[in-house]
Amino acid sequence: MENILEIKNLKVQYNTDEAVVYAVNGLSLELAKGEILGLVGETGAGKTTTALSIMNLLPDAVAEVTGGEIIYNGKNVFGMSKSELRDLRGSEVSMIFQDPMTSLNPVMTVNDQIEEVLKIHNPQMTKAERDKRVADILSLVGIAPERGKSFPHQFSGGMKQRVVIAMALVAEPSLLLADEPTTALDVTIQAQILTLMKELEEKLGTSMIFITHDLGIVAEFCQSVAVIYGGEIIERGTVEQVFACTDNHPYTSSLFQCIPDLETDEARLKPIPGFVLDPRTVPKGCPFADRCEHCTERCRTEKPAVQYVEEGHFIKCHLFEGRRHDV
């Protein structure tokens, strides 16, 4: 299948006054047209940084792309001109930002903020058509269209999140980057939003990268999973392959042990031993080595290569060297 997005060996660092933070360290990821990929990993793993890089929207005061490229529909986003980037953002690729509290402009009405996307990308639309689209998308995300005249501060957190979602969906993008879009929503609204996004995928073939901590949502909503650790993809496969729990990266296995299992008595979370990786250094070997129960001397000194265990399922771990069993 044709790829809509190819991230090749992406390296991003933040140069702050105190330290250099290595957020993304040689991340490679491919996304097929129409694919819905769940991107999971703990806090600070580099998920948001990766998503922002795809739109070439990293904060230019601190962030620096030190290597790699991101090919969207055959074109490197880091090489795009300003006007190419403007065409890309909002209509081709759009992002649901992680923090809805600060992502809306406090001095503009909700209607105006959603309508702006249409004004930019659909200049042929009349005012009446735009108003209709805005009202439609608001009711789709469960907000009464009359409320659109309000300002963000008059909305609750969950409502703001839905506005951010509406804004990202209104121009019907080809690639949607959803950065923990449903964390502030209650379960019914969450289901409603997920259904809406699913419909978008079915109707328009929208590809999605769905960033979340919730493995339940991944299992239900996504077709494939990528696990990110220390700014690298350490495992990638279809939902069936990864959730089968036969071959997994030790980090993924421990993630799965973190989900309370309702069928057995063992309903307690099993914490992953050790500390979250210090992002101010890039480990020479495997980033998970310090917390891994199978860690060997080799893991500390040599970066594991991508090992395919099955067609479409790879694990970056020395343990799986030469373990492909479907060939």
Query: Residues interacting with Mg ion, by CB under 5 A?
Result: 48, 98
Fill in the amino acid letter for 240.
E
Residue (117 or 233) nearer to ligand ATP, CB: 233
Give the interface size with other proteins as a residue count (CB under 8 A): 32
Long-range (24+ apart) CB contacts under 8 A made by 71-77 are 71/3, 71/5, 71/6, 71/7, 71/8, 72/4, 72/5, 72/175, 73/4, 73/174, 77/53
User: Is residue 182 involved in binding ligand ATP (CB under 6 A)?
Assistant: no
The closest of 326, 228, 241 to 279, measured between CA atoms, is 228
C-beta of residue 51 within 8 angstroms of C-beta of residue 95: yes
- Distance CA(163)–CA(152), nearest Å, equals 9
Q: Give the nearest distance from C-beta 275 to ligand ATP in angstroms.
A: 13
The SS3 assignment for 29 reads: strand
Phi, psi angle pair for 176, to nearest 5°: -115, 125
If one asks whether residue 62 binds ligand ATP (CB under 6 A), the answer comes out as yes
Report the site for ligand ATP in 91-130 (rule: CB under 6 A). Answer: 98
Q: In this structure, what token pair is assigned to residue 31? A: 């996304």
By CB under 8 A, name the one of 57, 189, 191, 319 that touches other proteins.
57
- Chain length of the chain: 327
Among 66, 105, 139, 301, binds other proteins (CB under 8 A): 105
Tell me which of ligand ATP, other proteins, Mg ion, none is bound by residue 36, counting a contact when its beta carbon lies within the kind-specific cut-off of 5 to 8 angstroms.
none
Residue 68: closest CA among 104, 120, 27, 123: 27
Which entry of Mg ion, ligand ATP, other proteins, none binds 46, CB below 5 to 8 A by partner kind?
A: ligand ATP
Residue of 167, 175, 211, 233 that binds other proteins (CB under 8 A): 167
Residues 125-164 that bind ligand ATP (CB under 6 A): none
Among 12, 37, 40, 104, binds other proteins (CB under 8 A): 104
User: Is there binding between residue 199 and other proteins (CB under 8 A)?
Assistant: no
Report how far Cα 290 is from the mean position of its chain's Cα atoms: 26
Binding site residues, ligand ATP, CB under 6 A: 14, 16, 21, 23, 41, 43-49, 59, 62, 98, 279
Binding site residues, other proteins, CB under 8 A: 55, 57, 59, 61, 82, 85-91, 94-95, 97, 99, 102-108, 113, 116-117, 120-121, 151, 153, 164, 167
